[in-house]
C-alpha cells in the first residue's frame, strides 16, 4: 500500500521539505508516503472561490491513483486521537489499496472531492498553514504506525 499526500501548492521552504522527508523516510515500504505537489491555479479578481476550488479539484482528480481510497483533509472533518488514526491506518493496510490524502488550497477542497472521499479528516479545530499540514500528516502517520507496531516512538 502506498499513501499519496496530494496537495495544492509547490515550492515549499527547505524546513518543510526536510520535516516531511524526515517522517516519510521512517515509514516502512508497506505504507510508503509519497508527496504529490500540484501548482496553485492562477488567481484573479474575476474568479469566485468556487471557480478556484473547481480548478484545484480538476488538478487533484487527475493525480488520484486509480482505485485509491480517497481521504479528504477538511476543517469540518472528523477529529481522531492517535490511537484512532492507528486504527484507520490498520484498516487501510488490511484493505491493501492505495490511499490518497487530499489537501486543497487556501479555500479548502471543492464539494465534489469531499463527496468522493470515503472519510473526511480534520487535524484539529486550529487552523494550520498549509506547509505545516504536510509535516503534521507525515508525523501523525508515522506515530500511528508506531502504535500499531509497539514502537517506542509513541508512548501513550
Residue 123 in marked binding region: yes
Residue 124 in marked binding region: yes
State residue 141 phi and psi, 5-degree precision: -65, -40
Residue among 41, 85, 94, 39 nearest 63 (CA)? 39
Residue 19 in marked binding region: no
Residue 101 in marked binding region: no
113 is written with which cell numbers?
472531492
Residue among 101, 124, 106 nearest 24 (CA)? 101
Residue 20 in marked binding region: no
Distance spanning both ends of the chain, measured CA to CA: 26
Distances (CA, A) of 5 to 8, 16, 42, 61, 102: 10, 14, 22, 13, 6
Q: How many residues does the chain have?
A: 156
Q: Which residues are annotated as a binding site for S-adenosyl-L-methionine?
A: 73, 104, 123-128
Q: Which residues are annotated as a binding site?
A: 73, 104, 123-128
Amino acid at each position: 500500500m502506498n499513501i499519496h499526500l496530494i496537495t495544492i501548492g509547490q515550492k515549499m521552504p527547505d524546513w518543510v521539505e526536510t520535516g516531511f522527508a524526515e517522517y516519510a523516510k521512517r515509514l516502512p515500504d508497506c505504507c510508503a508516503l509519497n508527496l504529490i505537489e500540484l501548482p496553485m491555479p492562477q488567481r484573479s479578481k474575476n474568479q469566485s472561490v468556487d471557480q478556484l476550488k473547481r480548478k484545484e479539484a480538476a488538478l487533484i482528480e487527475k493525480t488520484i491513483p486509480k482505485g485509491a481510497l480517497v481521504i479528504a483533509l477538511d476543517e469540518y472533518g472528523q477529529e481522531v486521537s492517535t490511537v484512532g488514526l492507528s486504527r484507520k491506518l490498520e484498516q487501510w493496510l488490511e484493505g491493501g489499496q492505495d490511499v490518497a490524502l487530499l489537501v486543497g488550497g487556501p479555500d479548502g477542497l471543492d464539494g465534489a472531492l469531499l463527496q468522493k472521499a470515503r472519510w473526511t479528516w480534520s487535524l484539529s479545530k486550529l487552523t494550520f498553514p498549509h506547509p505545516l499540514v504536510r509535516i503534521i500528516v507525515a508525523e501523525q502517520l508515522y506515530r500511528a504506525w508506531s502504535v500499531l507496531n509497539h514502537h517506542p516512538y509513541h508512548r501513550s
